[in-house]
């Protein structure tokens, strides 16, 4: 843990009787799980936090460096204002208070830390006291979201498993050194591994929505440290362990489940959980001890004398707040209202995550059927950008044709695929070209009558209440109509006839 | 006043006797060649440098190239800068692009910075000619230049004595006529004390007035760069060139350089000069006698002398020896053998760190790193570093109180004149006491300077320190000019 503030329980647990209590179903063999997350995200700035070198991932090693990045003697940091603004944007999106703040030095030796200290924020972070709402209105406190600089990246060659111990040599890429990070520290309000996953997912959505980060866990621009402890409900928090190297949302869940089980089994067998920093081994699916509390570094924090206090004025804060885009939760609610889908339905979540909700609004605006558009976009636009190439008008036309039974759902699907392939098209012309012309209700009725006449036994059974019998009749209609009839319309027609 | 009059003292050792103001004017109008000025300095260096050891590196070739270019520019009628042809020595803790910058430490021996410090760039832009990099106490930690890894510098006025420190090389270079002026850095007195011991003017500007970009940090919240010159007018001109906002230093004040040369003729009529009644004891009688003479001179020139109290002054030393080492322990952590400077190979990473730093740092640096690390450690922070910050606040409060009654304060710069080699090396505390009068200014971030005023024991110069509030350079220079005139 990198901040002075405990996110989960320490040894002095008397104050840690939480008001947030797990439900009976959430307990694990009678144990309550307590999780706090520290999430580091790289901010999407053009340049580094304290120098003009580019903030870019994936380039040739050591190409985005300068005297400040390398910690050369005499080089001084100059704070990147855009990084502060992005951090404020994130803080405000997390309902934090933006406050006057200072920078501290966190001192420790490591080859990828060029100055042998990291410039971070300590007792006066930029953003404090926020919260993030999970689906089901579960509110997770956000203790703080502070600015700091990233380290370089070490690669240990030879020896065991990419660890420095026993390696033949180590290579350091300083392109990442000095990249602006925000560390978002949750309160220990999370009670299940699913909530932890939801928290990370929701946080990611917010980061993307406000443009603070590209939040790519696989590239390390979003990284999670997980604090886990277990205790019996109503008793003080247990001793926590911090798990590092948890690099996907799925791993967050797995690491927590593994660690909770390990701690419970340890206590049940008479052992005591020791405060430790653990390393998540994703391949083996287990945690390993990195270090114990006793050999933890003393970071000797003190005020960074090369920087001055940062006090964003009210006007700046309000300007950033006013410019905040709608956040995922609000967008999901709006999309649910627009489409009639549930606000926690998967389709709504997926579309908002892809940022395609605006697009569905656009379809609705030009008169399209929002509910059908939601389904189309979810099914066919997974590879499309937030603003798909297919003009909203085309999707609107398609949705109306299906709604008005001018197309069967199967036909609509075929045309949708074609729209995606071609980046749009004249839906009416496409339907005509494919012979998907409308089947008028009159024409359909006569085909239905033909089918009934051809299979009186099935008709009799259906009329007698045998629902299964309708299958044969619908099948016959489809065959007679060469697939142009709408299955739903046929069913409705048969029902109407049977009950008349 | 005419700057050429200077102090005109017989004990001055600089052979050329030229001033910054003289040279700049004469070179610019073509009546003096920059090459000639430089050759005088190089001749002095050839004659006495082996004895004085002011320099870690003399950059004669580069300097000749530069001086020749300036002369050519003058001949061609091009506009030249305000320091055209002025020879300047740089303390070897200021980064010079492509020129070795060592901080007089083995750990940085051979290191060539890829960039110039802001002050170096500003001097160069005004036509200065850099003569070389001067010796210092390793990483500016010391008061005698005896802590240099490359051997001590000797006081040109009496080579059995120290030049003071940590900017001893920069002071000696000007006192010996190796350069017309020089830059030093002052964290707790490292410009003012050697200026006093070598009979020079030395300025510690208000914190944030001169950019620290490119100054290898010792105590970042205390360090300031300032000039050594033979006259007050030269110091004023140097300040006008090096001071002023620098966007590359976040602690740089958001304002232009103060205009000081115009202040010098204003006199001190009506100024209130503070005399500290509870001044720490231990100054030698010869130094105190000159301080009294300085008060008299200012009084005679129309100033009023008023009593002020600085009860926290003595605690300044204690606070300083927690704050400065604490910052130093962090600032010097980057010398780890990984990216530049010395590396002593060893079996694993931690052993390499240990072996490199053990071999690379001298005793005083190690002492301060340990002190500072301890002061910042968990469980000790509040008792040491935290308390030192409170004392720092008290000192600022005492000064604020004093400056309601006066415009500037006079104290000795150093409790004694230049002392002999080895006098204080065995007793770090005695050495630390050299800075008792200079340290409080750094803790408060205020302005201060030392001007030579009379002589003391063995005919050696005495320095009087003028303290002024933050951004009080203008009144401070008025007092300095008056003291110079009274000589």
B329 part of the active site: no
Within 8 A by CB and 6+ apart from B155, the residues are: B161, B162, B163, B164, B172, B175, B197, B198, B418
Q: Which residues pair with B130 in a beta bridge?
A: B88
Q: Say if residue A17's pLDDT is above 70.
A: no
Q: Does A389 touch chain B (CB under 8 A)?
A: no
Rounded to whole angstroms, the Cα distance separating B335 from B353 reads: 9
Angle at CA A367, nearest 5°, toward A366 and A373? 95
**Chain A interface test: which of B97, B336, B345, B369 (most A C-beta within 10 Å):** B336
Domain ranges of chain A: 24-319, 328-433, 441-499
Q: How far apart are CA B487 and CA B485, in angstroms?
A: 5
**Distance (Å) from the C-alpha of residue A167 to the closest C-alpha of chain B?**
10
pLDDT confidence bin for A16, thresholds 50/70/90: low
Q: Do B330 and A117 touch (CB under 8 A)?
A: yes
Give tens-digit pLDDT for A409-447: 888 999 999 999 999 999 988 988 887 765 666 678 888
- Measured CA to CA, the distance from residue A150 to residue A159 in angstroms comes to 26
pTM: 0.89
Interface contact A79, partner B, CB < 8 A? yes
B190 has catalytic annotation? yes
Number of cross-chain residue pairs from A and B with Cβ atoms under 8 Å apart: 98
Euclidean distance between CA atoms B268 and B451, whole angstroms: 16
CA of B92 vs chain A CAs: smallest distance (Å): 12
Which pLDDT tens digit goes with each residue over B4-41?
A: 333 333 334 444 579 999 999 999 999 999 999 999 99
Give yes or no for residue A202 having a pLDDT over 50. yes
Question: Does the structure's ipTM exceed the value 0.90?
Answer: yes
Residue B95 to residue A79, Cβ atoms within 8 A: no
Contact criterion met (CB below 8 Å) for A68 and A33: no
Contact A114 B334 (CB under 8 A): yes
Strands A138-149 and A180-186: antiparallel
A300 with B377: Cβ contact below 8 A: yes
Burial B371-396 (b: 16+ CB within 10 A, else e): bbbbbbeeeebeebbebbbebbeebb
Of A70, A107, A306, the CB nearest to B250: A306
Q: Which of A74, A164, A308 sits opposite B215 (nearest CB)?
A: A74
Distance from CA of A307 to the nearest CA of B (A): 6
CA of B365 to nearest chain A CA: how many angstroms apart? Answer: 16
Structure confidence at residue A440 (pLDDT): 63
Q: Domains in chain B, ordered, with CATH? A: 3-267 (3.90.1300.10), 314-391 (no CATH)
Instruction: Match 């027609």 to its residue by tokens.
Output: A493
Helix, strand, coil percentages, rounded to 5, for chain A: 40, 20, 40
Q: What is the nearest CA distance from A70 to chain B, expressed in angstroms?
A: 8
Determine which one of B190, B211, B312, B450 is catalytic: B190
How far is A142 from A153, CA to CA, in rounded Å?
A: 28
> Could you report the per-residue pLDDT of A67-113, keeping only the tens digit for each?
999 999 999 999 999 999 999 999 999 999 999 999 999 999 999 99
pLDDT(A7) > 50: no
Contact yes or no for A116 and B250 at CB 8 A:
no
Q: How far apart are CA A36 and CA A20, in angstroms?
A: 13
pLDDT digits (tens, 9 = 90+) for B339-370: 999 999 999 999 999 999 999 999 999 999 99
Query: Would you say residue A40 has pLDDT above 80?
Result: yes
Residues of B in contact with A302 (CB under 8 A): 326-327, 330, 376, 381, 385
Question: Nearest Cβ partner of B248 from A78, A172, A298?
Answer: A78
- Per DSSP, the three-state class of A262 is helix
Contact check, Cβ <8 Å, A76/B249: yes
Contact B339/A74, CB-based, under 8 Å?
Answer: no
- Nearest CB among B115, B248, B327 relative to A305 is that of B327
Angle A487-499/A470-480 helices, nearest 10 degrees? Answer: 130
Assess whether B133 carries a catalytic annotation.
no
Name the residue of chain A whose CA is nearest to B253's CA.
A308
Interface residue A74 vs chain B (CB under 8 A)? yes
Put simply, the answer to whether A73 touches B339 (Cβ < 8 Å) is no
- Chain B residues contacting A via beta carbons under 8 Å: 94-95, 101, 103, 108, 111, 113-115, 117, 212-217, 219-221, 247-251, 326-327, 329-330, 333-334, 336, 338-340, 349, 353, 373, 376-378, 381, 385
Instruction: Tell me the per-residue pLDDT of A332-389, one tens digit each, with 9 for 90 and over.
Output: 999 999 999 988 899 999 999 888 999 999 999 999 999 999 999 999 999 999 999 9
Predicted local confidence at residue B458, as pLDDT: 95
Chain A residues within an 8 Å CB radius of B219: 305
Other C-beta atoms lying within 10 Å of the C-beta of residue B422: 11
Half-sphere exposure of residue B110: CA atoms within 13 angstroms, side-chain side: 7
pLDDT, tens only, B420-447:
999 888 888 888 888 999 999 999 999 9
User: d(Cα A98, Cα A144) in Å, to the nearest integer?
Assistant: 10
Write out the H or E segment, with its range, that includes residue A41.
strand A32-42
pLDDT tens figures, A226-241? 999 999 998 999 999 9
Cα separation, B381 vs B239, whole angstroms: 37
Q: Which fold has domain A441-499?
A: Arc Repressor Mutant, subunit A (1.10.10)
CB contact under 8 A, B113 and A298: no
Are B217 and A73 within 8 A, CB to CB? yes
**C-alpha distances in Å from residue B423, one per residue of B54, B141, B429, B434, B461:** 20, 17, 12, 12, 18
Q: Rounded to the nearest 10 degrees, how much is the dihedral formed by the CA atoms of A257, A260, A262, A266? A: -160
Unique residue bearing structure tokens 């050792």: B13
A23 Cβ partners below 8 Å, 6+ apart? none
A267 touches chain B (CB under 8 A): no
Cβ contacts of A77 on chain B, cutoff 8 Å: 250
SS3 of residue A51 by DSSP: coil
A72 CB near a chain B CB, below 8 Å?
Answer: yes
Question: Could you report the per-residue pLDDT of B212-242, keeping only the tens digit for each?
Answer: 999 999 999 999 999 999 999 999 999 999 9
The CA–CA distances, whole Å, from B373 to A293, B107, B327 equal 20, 19, 9
Of B113, B247, B353, the CB nearest to A74: B113
The C-alpha atoms of residue B457 and residue A154 are separated, in whole angstroms, by: 60
Which residue, B2, B455, B412, B467, is CA-closest to B232? B2
Closest residue in chain A to residue B222, using alpha carbons only? A305
- Decide: helix, strand or coil at residue A180: strand
Question: Of B232, B210, B236, B238, whose CA–CA distance to B223 is shortest?
Answer: B210
């Amino acid at each position: 843990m990198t901040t002075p503030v405990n996110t989960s329980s320490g040894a002095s647990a008397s104050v840690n009787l939480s008001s947030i209590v797990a439900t009976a179903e959430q307990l694990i063999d009678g144990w309550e799980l307590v999780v706090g997350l520290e999430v580091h995200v790289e901010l999407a700035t053009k340049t580094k936090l304290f120098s003009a070198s580019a903030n870019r991932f994936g380039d040739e090693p050591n190409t985005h460096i300068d005297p400040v990045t390398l910690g050369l003697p005499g080089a001084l940091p100059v704070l990147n204002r855009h990084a502060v603004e992005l951090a404020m944007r994130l803080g405000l999106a997390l309902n934090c208070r933006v406050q006057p703040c200072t920078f501290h030095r966190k001192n420790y030796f490591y080859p990828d830390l060029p100055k042998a200290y990291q410039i971070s924020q300590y007792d006066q972070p930029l953003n404090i006291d926020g919260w993030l709402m999970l689906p089901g209105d579960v509110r997770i406190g956000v203790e703080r979201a502070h600015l700091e600089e990233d380290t370089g990246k070490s690669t240990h060659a030879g020896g065991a498993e990419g660890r420095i111990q026993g390696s033949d040599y180590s290579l350091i890429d300083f392109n990442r050194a000095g990249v602006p990070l925000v560390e978002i520290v949750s309160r220990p309000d999370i009670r299940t591994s699913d909530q932890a996953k939801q928290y990370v997912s929701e946080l990611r959505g917010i980061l993307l929505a406000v443009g603070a980060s590209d939040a790519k866990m696989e590239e390390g621009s979003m990284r999670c440290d997980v604090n886990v402890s277990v205790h019996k409900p109503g008793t003080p928090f247990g001793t926590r362990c911090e798990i590092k190297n948890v690099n996907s949302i799925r791993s967050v869940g797995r690491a927590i489940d593994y660690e909770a089980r390990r701690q419970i089994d340890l206590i049940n067998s008479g052992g005591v959980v020791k405060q430790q920093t653990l390393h998540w081994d994703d391949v083996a699916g287990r945690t390993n001890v990195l270090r114990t509390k006793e050999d933890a570094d003393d970071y000797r924090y003190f005020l960074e004398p090369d920087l001055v206090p940062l006090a964003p004025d009210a006007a700046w804060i309000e300007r950033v707040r006013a410019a905040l885009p709608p956040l995922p939760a609000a967008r999901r609610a709006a999309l649910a209202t627009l489409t009639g889908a549930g606000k926690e339905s998967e389709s709504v979540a997926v579309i908002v995550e892809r940022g395609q909700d605006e697009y569905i609004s656009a379809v609705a605006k030009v008169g399209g059927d929002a509910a059908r558009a939601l389904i189309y976009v979810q099914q066919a636009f997974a590879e499309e950008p937030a603003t798909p190439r297919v003009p909203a008008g085309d999707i609107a036309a398609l949705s109306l044709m299906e709604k008005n039974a001018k197309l069967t759902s199967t036909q609509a699907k075929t045309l949708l695929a074609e729209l995606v392939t071609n980046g749009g098209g004249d839906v009416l012309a496409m339907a005509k070209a494919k012979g998907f012309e409308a089947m008028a209700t009159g024409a359909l009725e006569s085909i239905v009558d033909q089918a009934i006449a051809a299979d009186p036994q099935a008709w009799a059974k259906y009329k007698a209440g045998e629902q299964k019998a309708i299958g044969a009749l619908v099948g016959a209609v489809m065959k007679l109509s060469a697939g142009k009839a709408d299955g739903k319309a046929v069913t409705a027609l048969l029902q109407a006839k049977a009950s008349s | 006043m005419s700057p050429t009059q200077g102090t005109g003292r017989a004990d001055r050792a600089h052979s050329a006797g030229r001033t910054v103001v003289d040279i700049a004017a004469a070179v610019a109008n073509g009546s003096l060649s920059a090459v000639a000025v430089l050759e005088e300095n190089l001749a002095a260096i050839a004659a006495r440098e082996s004895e004085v050891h002011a320099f870690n590196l003399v950059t004669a070739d580069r300097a000749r190239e530069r001086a020749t270019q300036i002369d050519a520019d003058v001949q061609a009628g091009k506009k030249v800068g305000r320091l055209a042809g002025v020879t300047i020595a740089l303390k070897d803790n200021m980064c010079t692009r492509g020129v070795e910058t060592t901080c007089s430490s083995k750990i940085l021996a051979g290191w060539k910075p890829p960039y110039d410090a802001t002050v170096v760039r500003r001097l160069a832009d005004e036509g200065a000619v850099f003569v070389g990099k001067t010796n210092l106490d390793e990483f500016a930690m010391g008061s005698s230049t005896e802590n240099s890894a490359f051997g001590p510098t000797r006081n040109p006025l009496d080579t059995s004595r120290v030049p003071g420190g940590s900017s001893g090389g920069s002071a000696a270079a000007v006192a010996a006529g190796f350069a017309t002026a020089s830059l030093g850095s002052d964290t707790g007195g490292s410009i003012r004390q050697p200026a006093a011991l070598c009979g020079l003017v030395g300025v510690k500007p208000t914190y944030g007035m001169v950019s620290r970009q490119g100054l290898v940090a010792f105590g970042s919240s205390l360090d300031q760069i300032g000039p050594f010159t033979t006259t007050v007018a030269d110091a004023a001109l140097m300040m006008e060139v090096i001071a002023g906002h620098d966007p590359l230093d976040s602690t740089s004040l958001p304002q232009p350089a103060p205009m000081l040369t115009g202040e010098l003729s204003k006199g001190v009529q009506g100024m209130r000069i503070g005399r500290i009644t509870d001044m720490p004891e231990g100054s030698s009688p010869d130094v105190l006698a000159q301080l009294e003479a300085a008060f008299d001179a200012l009084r005679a020139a129309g100033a009023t002398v008023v009593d002020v109290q600085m009860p926290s002054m003595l605690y300044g030393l204690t606070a300083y020896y927690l704050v400065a080492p604490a910052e130093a322990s962090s600032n010097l952590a980057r010398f780890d053998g990984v990216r530049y400077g010395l590396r002593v190979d060893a079996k694993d990473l931690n052993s390499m760190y240990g072996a490199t730093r053990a071999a690379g740092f001298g005793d005083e640096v190690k002492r301060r790193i340990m002190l500072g690390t301890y002061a910042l450690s968990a469980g000790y922070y509040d008792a040491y570093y935290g308390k030192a910050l409170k004392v720092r606040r008290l000192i600022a409060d005492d000064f604020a109180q004093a400056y309601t009654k006066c415009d500037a304060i006079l104290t000795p710069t150093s409790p004694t004149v230049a002392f002999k080699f080895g006098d204080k090396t065995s007793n770090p505390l005695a050495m630390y006491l050299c800075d008792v009068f200079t340290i409080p200014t750094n803790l408060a971030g205020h302005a201060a300077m030392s001007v030579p005023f009379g002589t003391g024991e063995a005919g050696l110069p005495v320095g009087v320190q003028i303290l002024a509030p933050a951004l009080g350079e203008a009144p401070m220079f008025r007092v300095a000019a008056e003291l110079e005139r009274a000589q």
